[in-house]
């Protein structure tokens, strides 16, 4: 991790050299040790940076260029292999610093559990925070095979922390019955299967509120994102996900932080998923950091 | 971990331990020796079982859990390598036993030719049987380079056996001219390219009839199912296929058997196709076995 | 390369043995040395031919068979590795010969720059030529890192040669701002993101005109064409591309040449992209060569 | 195929059905959360079992058949994802039970840290235990980036527990200077680069002693074992490793337990490494369990 | 298959255009339907031809160039998918023709069973024929799971046909006990594990005799030939195999036919195995066809 | 490329931050446009740097640590895609600067042609320069299909420039007859097949002379280096190559520059080749830079 000291790793394309002046800060959370299925997302952030070099700097969707946004890439947060609790503490500490310095956190995972300390810390900072969550999975478990620090629990944790009514999930196509029931009973929004249309209905109700956007890449169909731990058919296309990001960008919500998680390069034939991830981050930087 | 207790090593997730009480029986037909292009589907059934362990047991599409269905996994039928005639006999014998015992056969291929002895045996058991067939290919050849026992012939065989008017093909995008002509001349239903919409029109006409559903995974576009012998672009999405299964499940037809064939793991990047196959089987178990 | 002499390489399925009588001539342009990202498209033409053997000869889309079209496969044009200027000269010379002999050129790339000498030579032959261009990228740069002979420049070159108003680009989702601005200022048609719908609007205006069709395989989403140098999410499906080809085939334009470029087999999991490419060429042969 | 009879789905080939009578017990330790580089060895044990079905039951090296050895496969020990401390406790408990029941433990990893609780528990049971360790790496660190429960520390831990003079490492080609220095200063045996020749010199000195053999698959050159977390060239061939196992089998040492770790199937092209691992386990069962 | 008629497929590099004048004839036997493990060798011959284009024409081992040998490539023998008996008949018929025409047969597999009709037909033609067999497996079974036409039986068949004393196997490292026992009891030569050294001892005893050489690519270690159906560690290096071929070439035996089988491109990372196979065939052409 | 300015790319592990004080300078030459077979080595240097992070800093072979060597990583030289002549000029200019500044050049390719301008410039600087060349190929062609700037020509060029008697090639196993003849006639040293033993004989004759070492990774057998453009069996092991480097390091020659070329990550299963390359560079830095 770096703020101002010399750094010898790749950074996301067009990152500025100066932390102080940056409006947003990109960072990686290379943790994958609580996943129950295929690990490997620890390498996601570095590969996303590497292929970002091939991105066009201009978005024909938003008619804006990366040079118009001031962001700094802090590298990956060094996390202790196999120690989930300590890793989450380190992430929380890092985010507290960013928020103190007035930065918008832009996270790259890593498994989805890394979003929990980020969302919690952002919630401590912004009253009335809402979460927009796009994912194949509910992630609403209390624990997974005895572990509460599991990649299946982050949305449950933040929903309990800020209240389930402030959490909006989209594109969900997997979970156990109890998770769906809990959401229903507690007034949490879940849109099954679809993202764009229900999101367009929700966005006007969130106008003016601070919003944290957390995207699990597996909200995409495996055809569009094979490079992830859990491949679950029936997902959305990358076109729908791009359009959903643009819908948020063009709405009246105030995005105060966002992340993209669960990119696992080892399963990523033809580098399709890492390239998609880097384009999604470009679009979010251009659309959310104003 | 086990010491002496019952062990359920490599069976489809949530299979029950007891054959007698089972309503449906899952079995693999690991044969791929008549395919003219890329072999490898012999390993399909085993890999589908292996990844089924990662499936959620609950379907948010059908609001039903696997525990609500009683099925037994009989493993793979041992078939003699390179001997197509004998393999088909063995399959037919196995199915006869299942039907005598009142079970619903749930087959996993293997090449599509394996469906022929199954469909024939089911037809012997159920008068007025109709076939719902989803596939990229017509499979209506009389023979292929001199061999009548070929992966290109099973639908022709069953169509001649029960009458072409009782066979309904969907999603077809490849075949030779003669095959399409034969279907037309003989009143067999072929929906080119599309599955869901024409299926919705056909289903009401089949209400109350016994129906066998045979799905060649290559009805999906290669983007959604790269792990198959013949990749042919222009196919449907996994969402359309899921919706088609649900349409059958919610119709008034009586599904008396079904199979999913041509899953070839060696070509299956990121295990996308085997995971899709295992989810499709979950949905068919939940939707068809009532 | 061959005209009549003995040849010992694969040819596209159903190619006729006789150059003189052929209406169309297939050829490969195995060049990839100016690409700025992943090379490998030099192997595209050979792999497309190889898998073409698995194609059905009949198109259920167009109800026509390959036997009804008379085409000759001339093999790959031998191009000097690493020498772009000389390669383009050789291509131009080859095309001049084809046009003198009254043949329709059917090219397979190779990188997109190979289309430049082809289009130029065709333009010299057909007054009032229009270009239909399907691609993820504008390819409208003047130069790329100092080189004017770059895979990013062919559409700019032909637009300047025949006038930007005669070039119609579809499906574009990447480029720098200057490229889009140049197109706008110069009256060149660019349809962003979509192909089929805007194409249907454009086609009637081109009726009766000679048209050259150039397709970069990356107009497809990476889900549908992972085997290419640059994977850029948000593209169209193979169904939309097939439908677009059929729209041209069924319009009143006069296709006088066409190509398909940027197929790079090394990145092509499960041979999906090369199979798609060979089907696209089949459809174009059946639809464009009348 | 099965109806009601006992089923041996996914166990190591020729495992007996009865725990009580078994002399040796095979088990998997599917943990990979402390690795600092590429995870994935959690899937090693299951894949080794799966391909074991293709093994010949007879060893032409040892002229012995698997039927002559009585072993039971207990499946994988269920370990809590991302919790190293608890995982090691569970492994230790499992091994204590095996030793109480008089079984020879036969472990499959998982990362190398899993060998630590096994070796410790075996050492508690057998006075004068010696360790034979084959590996590319010293694994002698005290901690790795602050974590003492790391895949880099197991040999240090056991060396400190039973005394460095009782630990014999072979084939070592990587480590930091401090590790090599510590071994030297403390009288621990390290053979750099070579296995077979130095092993032949050591074995006579261990005659009659109880010995635990722990093999990290990366002692093999990556040419022979690409499917592992850390690929480090300059290793031994599979022939040398087989010969080394046979040398132990034919010596006068008393092997009281053994394991094979760090097999990571996701990096294993052509299933070479898992097949090698399953053959190595066959040879160790035939050679060590008498 | 072709003799003189026009042909539109790849041929092995430097094949002559004229069958009549050819001394040796290359042909493929694209059959893989009796293999018990991984199929795919049907594509071996075509891929070997394709990569042969990259071979140097000169051998620095033998100081001879391909132009000095007159050979014709007849393409692949068209075999009926899934019909082993008929396929073997077709192969036998083809070989009979070659021998009548005085050609040396040079076969490319395909599974090893294809060598059986070749060896039998060659034995009918040459009295006192000896077989030199290099393989990981004995291939001495009488039947495999009830099928006598199995990839595990060809050496048993030819040994019974010409007498076990005339068959010399090298490099064997897998088989069941009965196979090794049968060989021993019947005076058949089996060299376990090694090829070059025992071959050097055997060759002088065969001087002047007609010899057929059959090589299963899996005699190589999987490190050297991952692209095959069965990967079994402990094999020889490609250097040892090359040296073994040169030992035969430089001995006084009269090679009257040879083949290389079991090359399965789908498992062949980096095209290593097909390139090795094409170099082995070059060396055998240069060394055996005088 | 960078000297002192801020840099935002990966560097080789333990590179120092200061150019002025560095004794050696690492740089990449990402060019692959003249290769006649598989391109992709342009990505070699970046991937070697990336995996270097996983290297141990200590060599148990040489008992030396990277901290004891002062080297700077200048990044990749930006080369114009597809323009070989200009690329070579840029490389020559860069090397001239390094030599003026008294640095030892440490190059990473890219195709082998990049070594030509380096060797020439080094030869201009050091009278009596000798070349030690390890490779599968002679690289002694005058031209390749008409192009003198080809990956098949660099050793011929330098041999003609400094005199063939000053060039020593080892491990050669491919080339055309003319190349071997030219070497012989002109007194150039070529050791076929072997590296270590003939090198040990040559080294004493070079004592005290300035030597440039150029290694084509394909001197290794494909089992040890699948990630390269041309895979040619019969090569040496990584152990022999390591030992050869150590032999040079321990001899009395004065290594004034060295490179490692032809690493092509796209063909590199399990990242074996890039990891090997990064270890080879570590050993050369530790052994050659004194």
Chain A interface with F: residues with Cβ < 8 Å: 6-11, 15, 17, 46, 50
ipTM above 0.90, yes or no: yes
Q: How far apart are CA B95 and CA B111, in angstroms?
A: 17
Residue D5 has pLDDT above 80, yes or no: no
Q: Which residue has the tokens 């196997």?
A: E169
What are A202's two structure tokens? Answer: 């929700």
pLDDT per residue over D116-129, tens digit each?
A: 999 999 999 999 99
Q: Is C1's pLDDT higher than 70?
A: no
Mean of pLDDT values over D55-71: 97
- Residues facing residue B172 across a β-bridge: B192
For residue F32, list chain C residues with Cβ-Cβ distance below 8 A. 39
A137, β-bridge pairs: A174
- Say which DSSP state C137 is in: B
Q: Is D32 annotated as belonging to a binding site?
A: no
Residue F246 among known ligand-binding residues: no
- The Cα-based distances of D209 to A214, D81, D131, D252, F150 in angstroms read 58, 36, 10, 8, 63
- Tell me how far apart the terminal alpha carbons of chain B are, to the nearest angstrom: 33
- Contact assignment for E275 to F221 by CB distance below 8 Å: no
Chain C residue numbers with beta carbons less than 8 Å from the beta carbon of B227 are: 270
Sheet with strand A71-76: strands edge to edge:
A71-76, A24-29, A104-109, A254-261, A210-216, A130-134, A167-172, A189-192
Quote the strand ranges of chain E, DSSP E.
24-29, 58-59, 64-65, 71-76, 104-109, 130-134, 167-172, 189-192, 210-216, 254-261
Asked whether residue B1 carries a pLDDT value surpassing 60, the answer given is no
For an interface test with C, the pick among B170, B233, B240, B267 (most C C-beta atoms closer than 10 Å) comes out as B233
- Cis? peptide before C26, omega within 30° of 0: no
Nearest CA-CA partner of B112 in B163, B36, B171, B186 = B36
Distances (CA, A) of B205 to B93, B132, B242, B256: 32, 12, 21, 17
Strand D210-216 to strand D254-261: parallel, antiparallel, or no bridges (unpaired)? Answer: parallel
Does the pLDDT at position C31 exceed 80? yes
CB contact under 8 A, F6 and A15: no
DSSP 8-state symbol, E78: P
- The domains of chain D are located at 11-288
**Encoding tokens for residue B96?**
């006869």
> D145, A40: Cβ pair inside 8 Å?
no
Burial A207-241 (b: 16+ CB within 10 A, else e): eebbbbbbbbbbbbbbbbbbbbbbbbbbbbbbbbb
pLDDT confidence tier of residue B6, bands split at 50, 70 and 90: very low
> Distances from the Cα of F70 to the Cαs of D78, E279, F107, F118, F251, in angstroms?
49, 44, 16, 21, 21
| DSSP bridge partners of B73 | B26
For F48-94, write each residue's pLDDT tens digit.
999 999 999 999 999 999 999 999 999 999 999 889 999 999 999 99
C63 annotated ligand-binding residue: no
3-state DSSP assignment of residue F9: coil
With CA atoms as reference, the chain F residue closest to C87 would be F82
Which chain A residues are within 8 Å of B58, Cβ to Cβ? 175-177, 180
For C194, the closest chain A residue by CA position comes to A239
Chain B residues near residue D3 by CB distance under 8 angstroms: 19, 74
Q: In this predicted structure, what is the pLDDT of residue D269?
A: 87
* Residue keyed to tokens 């060149």: C188
Residues C177-183 have a mean pLDDT of 97
Best of E13, E270, E273, E280 to disrupt the F interface (most F CBs within 10 Å) is E270
Give the mean pLDDT of chain B: 94
DSSP state of B140: -
Pick the range with the lowest mean pLDDT from A5-9, A153-157, B13-17, F28-32.
A5-9
Q: Do chain C and D touch: 3 or more Cβ pairs under 8 angstroms? A: no
A109: distance to nearest CA of chain F, Å? 19
pLDDT at E9 over 70: no
Q: Do D272 and E231 touch (CB under 8 A)?
A: yes
Residues of C in contact with B152 (CB under 8 A): none
Q: How far is CA C123 from CA C107, C115, D163, in A?
A: 15, 12, 84
Kindly report, residue by residue over E83-96, the tens digit of the pLDDT. Answer: 999 999 999 999 99
> How does DSSP assign F46-79, residue by residue?
HHHHHHHTTS-SEETTTTEEGGGS-EEEEEEPP-
Q: What share of chain D has pLDDT > 90, as a percent?
A: 89
- Per-residue pLDDT, F116: 98
Tokens in use for B44? 């399909």
Option in F10, F17, F46 nearest A9 (CB): F10
Min Cα–Cα distance to chain D from B76, Å:
5
Of B142, B146, B139, B102, which is closest to residue B219 (Cα–Cα)? Answer: B139
Digit-coded pLDDT (tens) for A15-55: 998 899 999 999 999 999 998 889 999 999 999 999 999 99
Distance CA A283, CA A273 (A): 15
Instruction: State the residue for tokens 């017509």.
Output: B138
In terms of Cβ atoms closer than 10 Å to its own Cβ (0-12, 13-18, 19+), residue E7 is middle
From the CA of A65, how many Å to the nearest CA of chain C? 8
F172 neighbors F135 (Cβ within 8 angstroms):
yes
pLDDT at position F30:
95
Q: Over the range D23-52, which residues count as b (16 or more CB within 10 Å of their CB) and which as e?
A: ebbbbbbbbbbbbbbbbbbbbbbbbbbbbb
Task: Name which of E81, E116, E150 to mutate to probe chain B: the one with the most chain B Cβ atoms within 10 A of its Cβ.
Answer: E81
Q: What DSSP element (H or E) covers C54?
A: none
Q: Average of pLDDT values for E161-185?
A: 98
Which pLDDT score, from 0 to 100, does residue E286 have?
A: 98
What confidence tens digit (pLDDT) does each residue in F137-151 have?
999 999 887 888 888
φ, ψ dihedrals at A162, nearest 5°: -110, 0
Say which residue the tokens 């990001």 belong to: A245
Q: Which DSSP string corresponds to E189-258?
A: EEEES--HHHHHHHGGGGTTSEEEEEEEGGGB-TTT--SSS---SS-B-HHHHHHHHHHHHTSS-EEEEE
D233 touches D222 (CB < 8 A)? yes
Model pLDDT, residue E6: 40
Region C58-75: mean pLDDT is 97
Give the pLDDT confidence score for residue A177 in this predicted structure.
97
Q: CA E115 from chain center: how many Å?
A: 7
Residues contacting residue F261 through CB under 8 Å, at least 6 positions apart: F29, F41, F44, F107, F108, F109, F110, F111, F112, F114, F115, F214, F215, F216, F217
pLDDT band per the 50, 70, 90 thresholds, residue F130: very high
CATH topology of domain D11-288: 3.40.800
Chain D residue numbers touching B9 (CB-CB < 8 A): 7-11, 75
Give chain A's residues under pLDDT 70: 1-9
Task: For D153-172, write each residue's pLDDT tens digit.
Answer: 999 999 999 999 999 999 99
């Amino acid at each position: 991790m770096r703020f101002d000291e010399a750094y010898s790793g790749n950074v996301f394309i067009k990152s500025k050299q100066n932390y102080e002046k940056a409006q947003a800060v990109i960072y990686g959370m290379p943790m994958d040790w609580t996943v129950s299925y295929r690990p490997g997302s620890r390498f996601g952030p570095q590969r996303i940076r590497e292929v970002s070099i091939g991105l066009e700097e201009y978005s024909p969707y938003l008619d804006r260029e990366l040079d118009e946004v001031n962001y700094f890439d802090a590298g990956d947060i060094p996390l202790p292999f196999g120690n989930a609790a300590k890793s989450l503490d380190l992430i929380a500490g890092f985010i507290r610093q960013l928020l103190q310095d007035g930065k918008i956190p832009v996270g790259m995972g890593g498994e989805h559990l890394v979003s929990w300390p980020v969302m919690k810390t952002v919630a401590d900072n912004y009253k009335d925070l809402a979460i927009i969550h796009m994912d194949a999975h509910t992630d609403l478990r209390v624990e997974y095979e005895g572990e509460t620090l599991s990649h299946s629990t982050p949305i449950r944790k933040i929903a309990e922390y800020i209240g389930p009514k402030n959490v909006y999930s989209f594109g969900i196509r997997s979970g156990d019955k109890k998770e769906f029931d809990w959401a229903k009973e507690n007034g949490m929004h879940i849109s099954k299967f679809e993202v764009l249309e229900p999101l367009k209905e929700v966005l006007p109700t969130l106008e003016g509120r601070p919003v944290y956007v957390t995207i699990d890449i597996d909200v995409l169909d495996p055809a569009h994102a094979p490079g992830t731990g859990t491949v679950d058919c029936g997902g959305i296309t990358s076109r729908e996900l791009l359009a959903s990001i643009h819908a948020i960008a063009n709405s009246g919500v105030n995005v105060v932080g966002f992340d993209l998680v669960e990119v696992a390069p080892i399963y990523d034939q033809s580098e399709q998923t890492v390239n998609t991830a880097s384009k999604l981050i470009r679009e979010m930087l251009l659309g959310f950091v104003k």
